[in-house]
Structure 1
């Protein structure tokens, strides 16, 4: 990472303040500050492992995709309740399962952040309470379901008609293995 002398000055001052505010972390922060002040650019990233960038950071489009999937599952749940079709829970992909922690971790993290920190989608029907790791890839499943859900006029999504609900739920099954 390249930093100008002025950026290094600002960062050095911020690290000096943090050293004073957090005495238990002062030694580690002092090492980072010294690296910044001395221009040891190779070491700059060492203290920033928790700051995501590139493909690890969520784009606005990806964030909207997660929220749209959550909206869809709220709609599915409301429709099932309104139509008295609780038996569908046994046979279909009716609850939000989260995302795969190994392959879709930024999506999983954003879904958890949305519910736990932002307080949105708190009534989301989850497969397991406050558990967002599906342990299997789900993004493609959600994308297939969302294609069908987007075809429904917005005013008919909450709740859906039974035939629309079934199209959305059937889309969860990969096309190659549908009956």
Structure 2
């Protein structure tokens, strides 16, 4: 990711890296502070190569919505007395494809590490090994038709899960 910094941002970062380098007694941070101060853009940009682009809001919304759907499915499943035709695996989060939906999968992992939706994520998997986004969009649409209920009947659960 190409990072363009204003002079003010360079000054702030330079000061922060100088403090960090002094506190941790690490030359790497002091060198970066110097590069920022002296305006050696090519050099200091190398340090920020690991900075990823922001996840688009639409992608974050998709992930958050499908996790809410799975929360509703699991809550409702656990309350059912007749679970015939539905397994725990059916109502467990199936992840995203690591090859084609890696940004979405990465956000799920970040949510899990931040202890958000952990109970939903941990009962499922992260890498589905097959694209899931379009299927999830259909499930979200069906759940919205049911007024985003967290008290679903067996028939409603089957409806959301149906293809």
- Give TM class, smaller chain: 0.7 to 0.9
Runs of 4+ with deviation above 4 angstroms: 125-128
Alignment of 1:46 with 2:46, yes or no, is yes
What CA distance in whole angstroms lies between the structure 2 residues aligned with 1:149 and 1:82? 17
Equivalent pair of 2:108/2:121 in contact (CA under 8 Å): no
Alignment of 1:149 with 2:130, yes or no, is no
Equivalent pair of 1:73/1:125 in contact (CA under 8 Å): no
Question: Number of residues paired by the alignment?
Answer: 160
- Bigger CA drift: 76-85 or 10-19? 76-85
3-state DSSP of counterpart to 1:153: coil
Residue of structure 1 equivalent to 2:74:
77
CA change 1:123–1:8 in 2 (3 A) is closer
What CA distance in whole angstroms lies between the structure 1 residues aligned with 2:85 and 2:110? 30
Query: CA RMSD of the aligned region, Å?
Result: 2.4
What CA distance in whole angstroms lies between the structure 2 residues aligned with 1:10 and 1:81? 52
3-state DSSP of counterpart to 1:89: coil
Equivalent pair of 1:80/1:86 in contact (CA under 8 Å): no
What CA distance in whole angstroms lies between the structure 1 residues aligned with 2:34 and 2:77? 60
What CA distance in whole angstroms lies between the structure 1 residues aligned with 2:39 and 2:84? 63
Q: CA deviation at 1:62?
A: 2.5
Q: Structure 2: where are the runs of 5+ without partners? A: none
Q: Structure 1: where are the runs of 5+ without partners? A: 172-179
Alignment of 1:135 with 2:133, yes or no, is no
Residue of structure 1 equivalent to 2:56:
59
Residue of structure 1 equivalent to 2:161:
169
1:27-71 deviation per Cα after TM superposition (whole angstroms, max 9, x unaligned)? 222332232122121223211233222xxx223332232121111
What CA distance in whole angstroms lies between the structure 1 residues aligned with 2:102 and 2:23? 32
Equivalent pair of 1:12/1:36 in contact (CA under 8 Å): yes
1:121-151 deviation per Cα after TM superposition (whole angstroms, max 9, x unaligned)? 23316554xx422232222221121111111
